[in-house]
Structure 1
Amino acid sequence: MSKIVVVDDDLFILQLLSEYLRKETYDVTSFSSGHNLVEHVRANTPDCLILDIMMPGINGLSLLTELRSFTEMPIIMISARGEENDRIQGLELGCSDFLSKPFNPRELVGRVKAMLRLAKSGGSGGIAATEEVSVHENSESIYKFGNVEIQPEFRKITVGNISLSLTSREFELLMFLAMHIERPFEREHLIQQVWKYDFFGDVRVVDDLVKRIRKKLGELDSMLQIDTVWGFGYKAIVRKV
């Protein structure tokens, strides 16, 4: 029996979601705050977590950051505000999916089922498998793309002699595209590579990431760039001098 944890300070929603999940024969544990949540996850290794963002005391985003330091279990975040920044920040910090309140509890149950199914199958999720380049780093590995150098082991990217400041998600996306230079990828495939799960939310989160990376690369006159492949997705290229 799969173990599900639900965290929400709204007791009505907490009870409603717990009841819907129990009807599917899941073993459900509920918390009305983030207190003791991390300890519970460490001790009980649940299969999926539903986590509200806005809670008194420690909020959902802070809890997500701590949880992602030791677990890759599927985490679905929910928020009453439904703001774009909440969605983007949650996805950047490592949540697997995001739902804005109000939502149909049956939709949440469907997403939980899909997440569990993908986790058991290794996260392949039906996206066509493609041959990947295997990169084995050592302390001296440096990949050069024009005036850009990438040191994967140290998660460091420099443009000229200037270090490029990137979030974890921005680094993962740019690194993946750079390791497959000139090769186009669909947004869904990039989501799978960067978040390590299939994602059931809005694929425009990739557009958000690309926009920010492009701005940072442009400010430093980077020769490594991300091109749009219209009607398909994105690819990395090296601009000629």
Structure 2
Amino acid sequence: MAARVVVAEDDMKQAELLRRYLEHDGHDVVAVHDGVQALAAARTVSPDLVVLDVMMPGLDGLSVCRALRAESDVAILMLTARVSEDDLLLGLELGADDYLTKPYSPRELVARVRTLLRRTTSADRTRADKVLRVGDLEVDPVRHEVSLGGRAVDCTPGEFAVLALFAREPGRVFSRDQVISHVHGVDGYLTTRTVDVHVMNLRRKLEDDARRPTRLLTVYGVGYKLAAAGG
């Protein structure tokens, strides 16, 4: 699946290595080495996916992620040497779709890129011809669009995948492990807290009061569900 990819990595040798691996996989790649260049390249190239190192001069990767997410739903893969789970979850809260911790293999990065691109471009093709409606919430898997009461709601690819899963079976309770299995496959590199972050971000976008949700409900000790219309 050929795509336009921006790689933002301040280590020039590593950036060149990633560029070669991604181009060998069929992608068009632009490599930059600081946060300011990353933001400019993303706005110029309109990529399908951005690979962002967290620690970069100019603007760090988290700042670039925040800026990109404010203006697009481009898929974002973060690279970080930080090992704190809170640091990793901060990137997800800002809108990143996945992360890799250093050191990592270029082959693993290419595999993550493939997964993100599949999720972005084919939201469950077996049932993608049907707009999912739950009350005044609409989820369109073909156009990758969400609307609430006729108002467009911007979602990251990860948030969209979680919401689409819930919207296909409103009222069904999904455990965190089930969400990971359905949305991300069984690669085993994501944590259950990732699901919590996506749900938290969705509540901010869909609920009148994210602290007192009426749509995306927690079923304590089990998981989450999207309340059925009128239920």
- Give me the TM-score of the superposition, normalised by structure 1: 0.63
Q: Deviations over 1:46-101 (max 9, x none)?
A: 12111011112211111001101121121100101132122111111111111100
Residue 202 of structure 1 is matched in structure 2 by: 190
Taking the aligned partners of 2:184 and 2:127, their CA distance within structure 1 comes to 8
Matches within 5 A, 1:32-51: 32-51=33-52
Q: Is 1:185 matched with 2:186?
A: no
Q: 2:220 aligns with which of 222, 225, 228?
A: 228
Q: Quick one: distance in 2 between partners of 1:7 and 1:35? A: 10
* CA distance 1:222–1:24, change in 2 (3 Å): closer
Cα distance change, pair 37–192 in 1 and its aligned pair in 2 (3 A): farther
In structure 1, how many angstroms separate the alpha carbons of the residues matched to 2:34 and 2:89?
Answer: 23
Structure 1 gaps, min length 5: 138-150, 156-168, 214-220
Paired residue total: 195
Measured on the aligned residues, the alpha-carbon RMSD in Å equals 4.3
Name 2:72's counterpart in structure 1. 71
Q: 1:131 to 1:51 in 2, by over 3 A?
A: same
Aligned residue type for 2:191: V
Contact 2:76 2:96 in 1 (8 A): yes
Report the TM-score when normalising by structure 2. 0.65
What is the percent sequence identity of the aligned residues?
33
Name the CA shift for 1:228/1:133 in 2 (closer, same or farther; >3 Å).
farther
Distance 1:25 1:236, change over 3 A: closer
What runs of 5+ residues in structure 2 fail to find an aligned partner?
A: 138-148, 204-210
Q: CA deviation at 1:2?
A: 1.8
2:6 touches 2:49 (CA, 8 Å); kept in 1? Answer: yes
Aligned pairs for 1:105-120 within 5 A? 105-120=106-121
Letter in 2 for 1:86: D
Inter-CA distance 236–26: structure 2 relative to 1 (3 Å threshold)? closer
